[in-house]
Amino acid sequence: MILYYQTHSPFARKVLVFANEAGIANRLEVIHHETSPTLRNEQVYAENPLGKVPVLLRAGAPAIFDSDVICAYLDTLHGGRKLIPESGEARWQALVLQSVAQELAQTGINLRWETVRRPEPLRYAALRDGYAEKIDASYDWLEATPALQAPLHLGHIALATALSWMAFRDLLSFRARPKLTRWFDEFERRPSMLATPLSGETHD
């Protein structure tokens, strides 16, 4: 399998961390691709009409894209404990945590547009502040949720990679939340995180 990747994407990193945790990272050939809303990558568009990574290419089968879907597929390829709980409350808690983490990362990306990436005269302060408010509210929710104490699952991976990206991009810090900070610092020492460091700059 080939994974179209980006070394500074929280979503692509989520997939690779997941593969490491599932013990199947050695089955992936990882190829870096630069993409952004203003930079068309023809190889990526040929596989994903949204022009985004990650994309998983499979021999003799259609490409799979979106990190949620790729992780769900990868979870069918190993014989260990499933990282997406199959039923019961554990499943819903994992999926809710993943959803919060995904939106946290996307809101961080949106905040960067209104603080760094968009030409300054075109930035919208009210939108910037709205994104910041959503991020703070998410941090507060994460500080209070018991989901962080559950056995390792997809939601934890999505959250760790989102928080790591927020710190990498020097966006709003979560470190005023002690429980969340302790959880993240411990998770970031996992071999799966150490093997997949963020690097590089966005190209627009």
- The per-residue pLDDT for range 86-108, each reduced to its tens digit, is 999 999 999 999 999 999 999 99
As a whole number, the mean pLDDT across the chain is 97
Distance CA 109, CA 34 (A): 15
Tokens for 169? 């991009």
Beta bridge partners of 3: 30, 56
DSSP 8-state symbol, 146: G
Residue 79 lies in a domain: no
Q: Are residues 9 and 96 located together in one domain of the fold? A: no
**Residue reference for tokens 């990306």:** 109
Q: Are residues 23 and 105 located together in one domain of the fold? A: no
Q: Are residues 96 and 176 located together in one domain of the fold? A: yes
Q: Are residues 19 and 68 located together in one domain of the fold? A: yes
Q: Are residues 69 and 102 located together in one domain of the fold? A: no
- The per-residue pLDDT for range 47-72, each reduced to its tens digit, is 999 999 999 999 999 999 999 999 99
Helix (H, G, I), strand (E, B) or coil at 58: strand
pLDDT at 32: 97
pLDDT band at 39 (very low <50, low <70, confident <90, very high): confident
Give the Å distances, CA to CA, from 20 to 24, 27, 148, 193.
Answer: 6, 10, 20, 9
pLDDT at 200: 92
* Residue 43 near residue 52 (C-beta atoms within 8 A): no
Question: Which domain covers residue 64, as residue numbers?
Answer: 2-74
Residues 6 or more apart in contact with residue 133 via CB below 8 angstroms: none
pTM: 0.96
pLDDT at 48: 97
